[in-house]
Structure 1
Amino acid sequence: MKLISQLLSAFRTKSVIYAASVAVLLLAGIFTFQVTKAQVSVNANGETTTVRTHADTVGDVLEELNIELGEYDKLSHDPDDKLTSGMEINYTKAIDVVITTDGDDKTYYTTAETVGDVLEENNIDISEHDQVTPALSESVSEGLQVDIAKAFQVTVDDGGEKEKYWTVGTTVEDLLKQEKIELGELDRVNMKLEDEVSKDAPIEITRVEKVTDIVKEKTDYSIVTRQDDNLAKGKEEVVSSGEEGLVAKHFEVTLENGKEVDRKLIKEEVEKESEQRIVAVGTKVEKPAVTTTAATSSSDTVSRGGDGNGSSKTYYMHATAYSASCSGCSGVTATGINLKDNPNAKVIAVDPNVIPLGSKVWVEGYGTAIAGDTGGNVSGNRIDVHVSSPSEAHRFGSKKVKVKVLD
């Protein structure tokens, strides 16, 4: 029995030693397993995680952390790089950004931090005149919408001066305000202010201005004859020489881009009245008067005499003016002179019973002319003088003038 007890005791001791040995070996293995793990830091989208791992590669660590590497994601190391203790791994997941350029949408995946960085990495060129919303310095976020309005040039013709301006597409009114181009009350634009601008449609501004132009014109004096029985018949004497008057005509002138396009007479002001020319006509009869043509009254005949080669007569006659361009006028005189072909011809219409047709005459204020026409209203001591235009005829008016028959 004693021997059996000794054997049992010895067996128990060996078992304890063996168990202890196994335990020591297990602890040593566990210690060795833990010690041989690599310690790495993984920064994923701004959050850092420190792990101890037996993984062989960077890709294995990401897999252990359930990080799925996408096509556009950013990783500081190649996924096949060997893992080393103390390694810092940075991972950024790509987000989608929608960029709209002049209405055309396109989605980009990026890990860039700002809008400007996104445009740069995708080779999207932006000029200084383009408009980008949000600003280039703005941070990107998932699903960010970026709008790009590409600038173009518009030609503005401002009163004949052309200049090009950059714009991203706006109304005519907004472009003019942007470039500080002001419109006057009368100015015109070839487009509506609310119209959208286009690079193919120039903006034309017509600068309209109304100014007053004052033109001063001389007015003829009238001639008055007075019978004077102290002067011999056939004699004349100027009592008052007469003086021209002065009229100021006020015109409203419309200018477009500096050029006159319209002129309207708005008022006339007499600055100086004309003074009559007074001529005394002698009626004193010193010898029997010479009988004249029946149609000529003695009060209208100033003188009659001879110069050795013929005779001449001087009359005071009522004169008006006419032109060949009047309504219904043929332009051909009673003696066959074509006044439309000769608008500056000096021709007067006479009563042939007083001044024979074809006579050469001198008319005060008109000059030397030919008595080459007749007229329905021309009879007795009345004449019509031919001028080049109706406006000139209007200016001539109606007056009494001295008329000399030269031959």
Structure 2
Amino acid sequence: MRIISKLLPASKMKLVISVVGVLVLVLFSGLVLFEATKAEVVISNNGDKQTVDTHINTVGELLNEVGIVVSEHDELSHAKDEAIKSGMTIDYKSAKQIKVTIDGNDHTYYTTADSVGDFFIEQDLSFAAHDVISHKTTDQTVDGLHIHIATAYQVTIHDGAKKRIVWTTGGSVFDLLNKNKIKLNDHDRIQPSVEEVVNENTAVSIVRVNKAIDEVNESVSYSTERQHDSTLNKGEEKVITQGKDGTVVKKYEVTTENGKEVSRELISEETKEASVNRVIAVGTKEPQAEQGLVTLASTSSGESRGIMQTSTGGKSLTMTASAFTSDCSGCSGYTATGINLSANPNMKVIAVDPNVIPLGSKVWIEGYGVAIAGDTGGAINGNRIDVHVPTKSDAFSWGVRTVQVEILDL
């Protein structure tokens, strides 16, 4: 300036200073005007806000200027070609990639939702209460999030006599039982095995097996014992000891399946009280009678026997006596001599060996009375007879005994 002032006269120097001052003023005024005409815009980038003063014309150009690249799935509050206005707020959200695996099938989504629940609503994804989802609906979404979903299905469990329908998303039969708090006992049977993998067609069947000890007191019937007694007349009987049933304790292992008994096995047997035999004294004393007279001797069965005493006397035998009845399978009801016992069930008839007692003979049997020797039998040989009684129970009561037999009409 000093050089210029030296070169120029004072008047000219004043003019130059004036021009420079005007130029500076114009430049400053233009600068102020340029700044004053900028639009003020707020940009929200994924929640982070910044204020920008700009002369940019469109939203897209402004975002490019601040380094925001908008992709296909991103969310933008204004169209890219919309004109910039002062006071405008531009909201931008970048999309997050989320992978969803449903029952092993992968699906890829892009979302700007903040939570998993909002993402499901956005994508119209809905799931049942029993489905298993790896994340809560309140969890925040992040880029690269991987959500696993297993959809539930129903499986039928036949637990003993009960039927249960339960929900599951898979796993083994063992896992299914644990989830539903079903326990197996030592002897229970299950189909399929606990290691097998469950699917929609699986039906589980459990047979509840229980083993228990059952203790039973059983009665043991007494036997009847007959003893000869020479102090009693023939045909007389006297009870010496009354019989008494005994008791035996039997232990059984009882197996039940689903509450029903399927087996019973005897594992031990112990006599708690022994039975006492019934003892009967049977008279063997010969009765006294006058020669040539017929006397009647009363028997224990209420029968009377006629003893014909002659100069030669009757034939007396000691024999083994069993009992029979015409009411039996395969029996005709007729004796060897043609007597119809079916029509005469109370008739006194005995089966004999004809070589010992001739058929048709009239005989007296101790404890039975007077009878006719009217039948034979394959097992009736020698000193053996079979007495006829009306019923099977009478035959069982008679049993096999030793008796005195007298042939009344030789």
TM-score, scaled relative to structure 2:
0.69
Share of identical aligned residues, percent? 37
Q: Distance in 2 between matches of 1:31 and 1:60?
A: 24
Q: Distance in 1 between matches of 2:198 and 2:70?
A: 48
Q: Distance in 1 between matches of 2:230 and 2:8?
A: 198
Q: Distance in 2 between matches of 1:30 and 1:151?
A: 70
Change in CA separation of 1:241 and 1:354 when aligned onto 2, cut-off 3 Å: farther
Q: Distance in 1 between matches of 2:397 and 2:268?
A: 22
Does structure 2 retain, via aligned residues, the 8 Å contact 1:234–1:283?
yes
Q: Deviations over 1:355-394 (max 9, x none)?
A: 99xxxxxxxxxxxxxx9996799x94689x9xxxxxxxxx
Does structure 2 retain, via aligned residues, the 8 Å contact 1:236–1:279?
yes
Q: Deviations over 1:50-99 (max 9, x none)?
A: 22111233233213223222222112334344433232222111021100
Alignment pair present for 1:247 and 2:248? yes
Deviation at 1:287, TM superposition (A): 5.4
Task: Determine helix, strand or coil for the equivalent of 1:33.
Answer: helix
- After superposing the two structures, state which structure 1 stretch, 152-161 or 43-52, moved more: 43-52
Question: What residue number does 2:128 align with?
Answer: 127
Question: What residue number does 1:69 align with?
Answer: 70
Question: What residue number does 1:368 align with?
Answer: none
| 1:146-225 map, 5 Å | 146-225=147-226
Change in CA separation of 1:273 and 1:104 when aligned onto 2, cut-off 3 Å: same
Does structure 2 retain, via aligned residues, the 8 Å contact 1:222–1:399?
no
Q: What residue identity is the alignment partner of 2:71?
A: G
Question: What residue number does 2:239 align with?
Answer: 238
Change in CA separation of 1:7 and 1:154 when aligned onto 2, cut-off 3 Å: closer
Does structure 2 retain, via aligned residues, the 8 Å contact 1:281–1:302?
no
Deviation at 1:147, TM superposition (A): 0.4
Alignment pair present for 1:143 and 2:140? no
Does structure 2 retain, via aligned residues, the 8 Å contact 1:352–1:374?
no
Does structure 2 retain, via aligned residues, the 8 Å contact 1:333–1:373?
no
Task: Determine helix, strand or coil for the equivalent of 1:61.
Answer: helix
Change in CA separation of 1:256 and 1:23 when aligned onto 2, cut-off 3 Å: same
Question: What residue number does 1:283 align with?
Answer: 284
Q: Distance in 2 between matches of 1:372 and 1:77?
A: 128
Flag structure 1 segments of 5+ consecutive residues without an equivalent: 1-5, 289-300, 309-314, 321-330, 338-350, 357-370, 386-396
Residue correspondences, number: 335
Q: Distance in 2 between matches of 1:399 and 1:78?
A: 121
Change in CA separation of 1:267 and 1:18 when aligned onto 2, cut-off 3 Å: same
Does structure 1 retain, via aligned residues, the 8 Å contact 2:39–2:87?
yes
Does structure 1 retain, via aligned residues, the 8 Å contact 2:353–2:380?
no
Larger Rg: 2
Q: Deviations over 1:92-149 (max 9, x none)?
A: 1102110001101000001122222222211111233222113333322221111011
Q: What residue identity is the alignment partner of 1:88?
A: T
Question: What residue number does 2:228 align with?
Answer: 227
Question: What residue number does 1:40 align with?
Answer: 41
| 1:21-36 map, 5 Å | 21-36=22-37
TM-score, scaled relative to structure 1:
0.69
Change in CA separation of 1:236 and 1:51 when aligned onto 2, cut-off 3 Å: same
Change in CA separation of 1:382 and 1:158 when aligned onto 2, cut-off 3 Å: farther
Change in CA separation of 1:237 and 1:332 when aligned onto 2, cut-off 3 Å: closer
Does structure 1 retain, via aligned residues, the 8 Å contact 2:352–2:376?
no
Question: What residue number does 2:295 align with?
Answer: none
| 1:298-313 map, 5 Å | none
Question: What residue number does 1:326 align with?
Answer: none
**Deviation beyond 4 Å, 4+ runs, structure 1:** 6-20, 301-308, 315-320, 334-337, 371-377, 397-404
Task: Determine helix, strand or coil for the equivalent of 2:129.
Answer: coil
Alignment pair present for 1:116 and 2:113? no
What is the RMSD of the two structures over their aligned residues, measured on CA atoms? 4.3
Does structure 1 retain, via aligned residues, the 8 Å contact 2:157–2:163?
yes
Q: Distance in 2 between matches of 1:372 and 1:242?
A: 34
Flag structure 2 segments of 5+ consecutive residues without an equivalent: 1-6, 290-298, 307-318, 335-349, 360-374, 390-395, 404-410
Question: What residue number does 1:333 align with?
Answer: 330
Does structure 2 retain, via aligned residues, the 8 Å contact 1:155–1:199?
no
Q: Distance in 2 between matches of 1:73 and 1:373?
A: 116
Question: What residue number does 1:353 align with?
Answer: 352
Q: What residue identity is the alignment partner of 1:333?
A: G
Change in CA separation of 1:42 and 1:316 when aligned onto 2, cut-off 3 Å: farther
